[in-house]
Amino acid sequence: MLRNTAVVGAMTALSRVLGLVREMMQSRFIGAGWEQSAFTLAFAIPNMARKLFGEGALTAAFVPVFKGAVATDGIEDARRLARAVMSMMLLMLGAVVALGICGITAALDVLEPLSPRAVLILQLTRLLLPYMIFICGAAFGMGVLNAMGRFAAASVMPCLLNVFWIGALASLAFCGDIDVAARVRRVATAILVAGAAQMAFMFACMKRRGVAPRFTFHGWGDAKTRLVWKNTAVAAMGAGAVQVNCMLDQFLGQLASPWAAGVIGYADRLMDLPLGVIGVAFGTVLLPTFSGHFARGDLASARRALLASAEKMLFVMVPAAVGLGILAPEVTRVIYEGRAFDAVATARVARAVACYAIGLGFFGLQKSLVPWFQAQGDMKTPLAVSVKAVCLNAVLNVLAVALLPVEWKHAGLAASTVVCAGWSCLLLVLAAHRRNGSLGLATLVRPVGLTCIAAAAMGAMLAVARGPLAEFAAIRGWNAPWSGILQLAMLVVLGAGAYFGVRLAVGRMRRFMV
C-alpha cells in the first residue's frame, strides 16, 4: 500500500508542481478581479460533474463491485461491467451537456441586457460544459486502472491539463494588450482541448491493460451494473451535498464582495499542494486496498492499512498546516504577486490560506476515512455525515457573511469549511467504531504526539526567525522578487530542520527513558 501510495504521490507531486506554475502565471495574467471569479464559477460546474460521475461517487461505487467481479466471476465479466457502466455514464453526460448548451444559448439571447460579469459566466460555462464528458470519461478510466492495481498512468493524467493550461497562459505574453475577459476565454478553450487529450490518454491506457473502452448496450440491466448505479445514487447524494455546499460558498462569496470567489479559489489551490500529494495519494490507493481486504473478510489488515495511512498522512499534514498558517503572507506573495495580482490581493488570499491551513489534517483524514465505508458498500454513512456537515457549514457561512467585516468575510467562509471538516472526521470515526469495532486509534497517540511537538517547535522557530530575516534582507538590499524567494527558501529550510531535528530528538529521548 505504501509503495503504491509513493507512486501516486510522486506523480501527483509532479502535477501539483505544474499546477503551482499554472497558478503563478494565472495570477499574473488574469489577476484576482471579477473575471477570475467568473472563471472560478464556470469551472466549478464541470468540476462538480467530475466529482459526482468521475473520480467521486461513481468510482467509489464501481471499484468495490469491479474488484468483487474480478475475484468471483473473472476478468471478462469485469470488462463487460466496466464497458456497460462507462457507456451509460457517457450517454447521460452527453444529454446533460447538450441540454445545458441549448439552455445557456437561449438565456444569452433572452436575458438582455446582462452585466458583463453575468455574460462572461454564461459564456464560459457554455464553453466548458463539454469538458464534463471528457474529464468524467478520463476519471472513470482512472478508477478502472486503480482497481486493477495500475496507479502510475492514472496519476500522470492530471499533468496534461496543467501542460495545456500553462501553454495557454504563456501564449498571452505574445498577444499584446487583450482584455482580461478574452484571456479567460483562451484559458477555458485550452482546458476543453486538454480534457479531450486526457480522455484519449486514459482510454489508450485501458486498452493496453485489456479493458478496451467500447460503447455498448450489453449488460445495462445486469445485477452488478444495477448495484453500481444504486450505490452511485447514494454516494452522489453525499458528494452532491458537498458540491452544493461549495456552490453555496461561491454564491455567498459573490454576496460578500465581487472578488471573494476568486480569492478563495487561489487559496484553495495552495492547499492542493500538500493535500493533493499526500491526501489524494492515500485516498486513491486506499479504496482498492480496503476493497480487497473486505472482499476477503480481512478486517485486521484493513485496520492496519487505515492506521498506517493516518500516521503517515499526519506526519506531513501537521507541519504543513503549521508552516502554511504562519508563512501564509510570504507563500502567497512569492507564488501569486505580480502584474495583475497586487499587494491587496496577496493580503486577502493569505487570510484565507491561514484559515484553510488549520484544517489540512482534517481534510487529509477525510480522504482515508470515507473509503473505509465505500469499500464495504456503505454509501449511506458518508452521505449522512456530508448532509450534517453541509447544514452546519451553511449556517456558519451565512453568519460569516452577515457578521464579519468585508475584508474578512471570505476568511470566515474558509474557517467554516475547516470546522465542518473536523466535525465530519469525528462523526466518521464514531460511525466506523459502531460498524467495525475499535479501530485501534490509541496506537496513534505516541507518533502523532511526537509529530505535534515537533511541528510546534517548528512553528516557534518560524515565528521568531521571520522578522530578523526580513530585516537582514532589507539591510543587505536584496531586490524583489528574489528577496521574497530567498527569504521563503531560508525559512523552509529552518522550519524543516527544526521539525525533523526535534522529532528525532524527542523520539530518542522517549526510547532512552523507556
**Cis previous bond, 468, omega within 30:** no
pLDDT above 70 as % of the chain? 91
Q: 312-366 pLDDT, tens per residue?
A: 889 989 999 999 999 999 888 888 877 777 788 888 889 989 999 998 889 888 8
Q: Using omega within 30 degrees of 0 as the cis cutoff, is the peptide bond preceding 481 cis?
A: yes
Per-residue pLDDT, averaged over 240-255, amounts to 65
At 374, the pLDDT band (50, 70, 90 cuts) reads confident
CA distance 356 to 135: 27
Q: pLDDT grade, residue 227 (50/70/90)?
A: confident
SS3 178: coil
pLDDT number for residue 201:
92
Cβ partners under 8 Å of residue 503, min gap 6: 450, 451, 453, 454
Residue 110 confidence (pLDDT): 79
HEC letters along 336-396: HCECCECHHHHHHHHHHHHHHHHCHHHHHHHHHHHHHHHCCCCCHHHHHHHHHHHHHHHHH
Q: For residues 203 and 213, is the Cβ–Cβ distance under 8 A?
A: yes
* C-alpha separations of 360 from 37, 112, 141, 324, 370 in Å: 24, 44, 28, 10, 16
- pLDDT band, residue 511 (cuts 50/70/90): low
Judged by average pLDDT, the poorest of 98-102, 199-203, 291-295 is 291-295
Distance of CA 394 to the CA centre of its chain: 20
Distances (CA, A) of 129 to 39, 46, 141, 167, 369: 13, 6, 20, 21, 31
Q: With a cut of 70, say whether residue 246 has pLDDT above it.
A: no
Q: What average pLDDT does this structure show over 73-88?
A: 82
Q: What is the DSSP code (8-state) at residue 479? A: P
* 410 CB neighbour count, 10 Å cutoff: 29
288, three cell numbers: 482498492
Residue 185 or residue 510, greater confidence: 185
From CA 165, how far away is CA 184, in angstroms rounded?
A: 11
C-alpha cell at 314: 499526519
Give the confidence band of 245 by pLDDT, cuts at 50, 70, 90: low
Residue with cell 452511485: 232
Q: How many CB atoms lie within 10 A of CB 430?
A: 11
Per-residue model confidence (pLDDT) at position 192 = 93
Instruction: Evaluate if residue 460 carries a pLDDT over 90.
Output: yes
CA distance 363 to 359: 6
Residue 239 grid coordinates: 458528494
Checking if the pLDDT of 375 tops 70, the result is yes
Higher pLDDT, 504 or 236: 504
Q: How far apart, in whole angstroms, are the C-alpha atoms of residue 377 and residue 224?
A: 12
pLDDT band at 290 (very low <50, low <70, confident <90, very high): confident
* Contact by Cβ (8 Å): 409, 400: yes
The percent of residues above 90 in pLDDT, for the chain, comes to 18
Give the pLDDT confidence of 140-196 residue by residue, as tens digits.
888 788 777 777 777 788 888 899 999 999 988 887 678 888 899 999 999 999 999
Residue whose entry in the numeric block shows the C-alpha cell 491587496: 344
Residue 228 CB contacts under 8 Å (≥ 6 apart), including other chains: 58, 61, 62, 65, 81, 85
> What is the SS3 assignment for 22?
helix
* Cβ-Cβ contacts under 8 Å for 16 (sequence gap 6 or more): 272, 273, 276, 277
Q: Which pLDDT score, from 0 to 100, does residue 512 have?
A: 47
Q: In 151-222, which residue ranges form alpha helices assigned H by DSSP?
A: 152-171, 180-208
Answer yes or no: is pLDDT of 513 > 50. Answer: no
pLDDT score recorded for residue 214: 82
23 or 187, higher pLDDT: 187
Quick: pLDDT tens for 268-279. Answer: 878 877 776 777
> Could you tell me the sign of the dihedral formed by the alpha carbons of 54, 234, 373, 427, in that order?
positive
Q: Where do the structural domains in the chain lie, given as residue ranges?
A: 2-439, 440-514
Q: Residue range 361-385: average pLDDT?
A: 85
What pLDDT, in 10s, does the model give residues 388-420? 888 888 889 888 888 888 888 888 888 988 898
Query: How far is residue 40 CA from its own chain's centroid?
Result: 14
Give the CA distances from residue 424 to residues 101, 170, 187, 205, 435, in Å, rounded to whole numbers and listed in that order.
36, 40, 35, 36, 16
- Taking the model in full, what pTM does it have? 0.70
Cross-strand pairs, 341: 338
C-alpha cell at 444: 496513534
| b/e burial code for range 194-217 (CB count within 10 A of at least 16 → b) | bbbbbbebbbebbeeeebebeeee
Closest CA to 162 of 11, 21, 310: 21
Q: What is the pLDDT of residue 514?
A: 45
110: cell is 433572452
